[in-house]
Amino acid sequence: MSSNKIRASITGVHGYVPNYILSNSELEKLVDTSDEWIVTRTGIKERRILKGDMKGTSIIGTKCVEGLLEKTGTSANDIDLIICATVTPDMFFPSTANLIANNVGANNSYGFDLSAACSGFLYALATGSQFIESGAHKKVIVIGADKMSSIIDYTERKNCVLFGDGGGAVLLEPSKDNTGIQDYILKSDGSGGDMLCLKAGGSLRPASIKTIENKEHYIYQEGSSVFKFAVTNMANVSEEIMLKNNLTSNDISYLVPHQANKRIIDATANRMGVGPEKVLLNIEKYGNTTAGTIPLCFWDFEKKFKKGDNLVLAAFGGGFTWGSLYLKWSYNTK
Residue 320 contacts residue 189 (beta carbons within 8 Å): yes
Between 85 and 118, whose beta carbon lies closer to ligand COA? 118
Q: What is the DSSP string of 275-316?
A: -GGGB---HHHH-B-GGGHHHHHHHHHGGG--TT-EEEEEEE
Q: Pick one of 41, 187, 199, 278: the residue that binds ligand COA (CB under 6 A).
A: 41
Which of the following is catalytic: 84, 118, 160, 297?
118
- The question of whether 214 is a catalytic residue gets the answer no
Task: Decide: is 55 part of the binding site for ligand COA (CB under 6 A).
Answer: no
Q: How far apart are CA 100 and CA 61, in angstroms?
A: 6
- The question of whether 288 is a catalytic residue gets the answer yes
Which of the following is catalytic: 137, 159, 258, 282?
258
The residue type of 91 is: M
Q: How far apart are CA 65 and CA 83, in angstroms?
A: 11
Q: How far is the CB of 217 from ligand COA (least distance, A)?
A: 18
Distances (CA, A) of 118 to 22, 57, 78, 207: 21, 15, 29, 24
Task: Decide: is 317 part of the binding site for ligand COA (CB under 6 A).
Answer: yes
**Contacts of ligand COA in 105-134 (CB under 6 A):** 118
Q: How far is the CB of 331 from ligand COA (least distance, A)?
A: 30
Q: How far apart are CA 145 and CA 143, in angstroms?
A: 6
Cα Rg of the chain, angstroms: 19
Q: Pick one of 131, 316, 329, 331: the residue that binds ligand COA (CB under 6 A).
A: 316
Coil, strand, or helix at residue 219? strand
- The question of whether 258 is a catalytic residue gets the answer yes
Task: Decide: is 175 part of the binding site for ligand COA (CB under 6 A).
Answer: no
Element (H or E) spanning 187, and its range? strand 180-188
Stretch touching ligand COA by CB under 6 A, among 34-42, 48-56, 62-70, 294-302: 34-42
Q: Is the peptide bond prior to 174 cis by the omega test (within 30 degrees of 0)?
A: no
Stretch touching ligand COA by CB under 6 A, among 80-88, 138-146, 200-208, 220-228: 220-228
Footprint of ligand COA (CB under 6 A): 33, 37, 41-42, 118, 157-158, 161-162, 223-224, 226-227, 230, 260-261, 288, 316-317
Residues annotated as part of the active site: 118, 258, 288
